[in-house]
């Protein structure tokens, strides 16, 4: 009997150690309270714009983007898609891929694809294509954001009239006192050439303003617009969110943030209140690149 117990105890310990749940993600509300995926779906369908902030290389986060988008289009077939990952001057090319005028190979060759396009963004495009829905290229062309980074916002005034079709109408307001922009100036701007420390925040604002502009231009009253972008672009209800509210103060906007933490038990202090919903991901979760 004693010998049998000696054999059983290690097996029980082994079973217990392997039966512990290892969460691949958690969803929490603005106050850090536990939520679930159905709550996220329901809330998303009740808003005009869903700003889905991502961690660009988190594979679990991208899977959740796709699952939410599938659920939203099942609820409303008029859903509109848009993303930071496609620049406004590529809208025609994007439309031609969606309507079958060009092949995927042609789209990849001529477009400015991110290195994780096939794994993370093509599934979203193909979802829109399957349902014959528009997908809006919302971001400022990177060459124009680079102009702002070097010359400040005034550099955009020198652009050709045709080029200005791909950016938010000038002049657009920039509030460099917003905490996110201030953080950029104090950290990244500290390494900029003399007198140009604010330009990096202005370049970021040119992206935020342009993405908000094209969301407003393409949103519908009878269906949500879901927009994918780096989470910094809408964290703390700043960035794109701030510009959308400048355009229409009554706009119903839901924000989603992503964070990675070692501790999955609760949101750390600095990650509380980032968005209406925060997706908490393990620091070692699978990466796209």
pLDDT, tens only, 227-283: 999 999 999 999 999 999 999 999 999 999 999 999 999 999 999 999 999 999 999
Average per-residue pLDDT in the chain? Answer: 92
What percentage of residues in the chain have a pLDDT greater than 70? Answer: 93
Percentage of the chain surpassing pLDDT 90? 89
pLDDT of residue 7 exceeding 50: no
User: For residue 283, what are the CA distances in angstroms to 259, 271, 280?
Assistant: 9, 14, 9
Q: What is the pLDDT of residues 156-199, one digit of tens each?
A: 999 999 999 999 999 999 999 999 999 999 998 777 777 788 99
Residue 4 has pLDDT above 50, yes or no: no
Q: Which of 33, 248, 274, 98 is nearest to 90 (CA)?
A: 98
CB 95 within 8 A of CB 110: no
pLDDT band, residue 14 (cuts 50/70/90): very low
Hey, is 260 helix, strand or coil? strand
Cα-Cα-Cα-Cα torsion 192, 198, 199, 202, nearest 10 degrees, comes to 150
pLDDT of residue 191: 78
Over 70: is that where the pLDDT of 224 sits? yes
Question: What is the pTM for the complete model shown?
Answer: 0.92
- Burial status of residue 55 (CB atoms within 10 A of its CB: 0-12, 13-18, 19 or more): buried
Predicted confidence (pLDDT) per residue in 65-105, tens digit = 999 999 999 999 999 999 999 999 999 999 999 999 999 99
Give me the pLDDT at residue 211, please. 98
Tell me the sheet residues that pair with 227: 51, 82
For residues 215 and 202, what is the distance between their CA atoms, to the nearest angstrom? Answer: 20
The tokens of 45 are what?
């369908």
Q: Per-residue pLDDT tens for 112-132?
A: 999 999 999 999 999 999 999
Give the pLDDT mean for 62-66.
Answer: 98
């Amino acid at each position: 009997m004693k010998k049998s117990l000696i054999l059983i105890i290690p097996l029980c310990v082994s079973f217990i150690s392997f039966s512990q749940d290892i969460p691949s993600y958690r969803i929490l509300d603005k106050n850090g309270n536990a939520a679930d995926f159905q709550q996220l779906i329901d809330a998303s369908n009740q808003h005009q714009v869903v700003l889905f902030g991502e961690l660009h290389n988190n594979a679990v986060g991208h899977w959740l983007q796709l699952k939410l988008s599938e659920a939203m289009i099942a609820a409303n077939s008029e859903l509109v898609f848009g993303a930071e990952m496609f620049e406004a001057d590529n809208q025609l090319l994007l439309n031609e891929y969606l309507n079958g005028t060009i092949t995927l190979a042609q789209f990849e060759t001529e477009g400015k694809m991110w290195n994780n396009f096939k794994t993370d963004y093509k599934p979203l495009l193909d979802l829109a294509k399957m349902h014959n829905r528009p997908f809006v290229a919302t971001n400022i062309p990177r060459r124009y954001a680079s102009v702002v980074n070097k010359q400040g916002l005034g550099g955009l005034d020198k652009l050709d009239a045709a080029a200005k079709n791909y950016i938010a109408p000038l002049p657009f307001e920039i509030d460099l006192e917003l905490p996110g922009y201030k953080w950029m100036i104090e950290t990244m701007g500290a390494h900029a050439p003399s007198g140009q420390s604010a330009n990096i925040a202005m370049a970021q604002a040119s992206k935020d303003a342009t993405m908000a502009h094209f969301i407003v231009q393409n949103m519908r009253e009878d269906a949500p617009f879901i927009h994918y972008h780096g989470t910094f672009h809408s964290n703390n209800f700043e960035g794109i969110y701030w510009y959308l509210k400048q355009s229409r103060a009554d706009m119903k906007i839901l924000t989603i943030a992503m964070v990675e933490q070692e501790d999955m038990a609760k949101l750390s202090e600095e990650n509380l209140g980032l968005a209406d919903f925060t997706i908490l991901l393990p620091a070692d979760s699978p990466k796209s690149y």
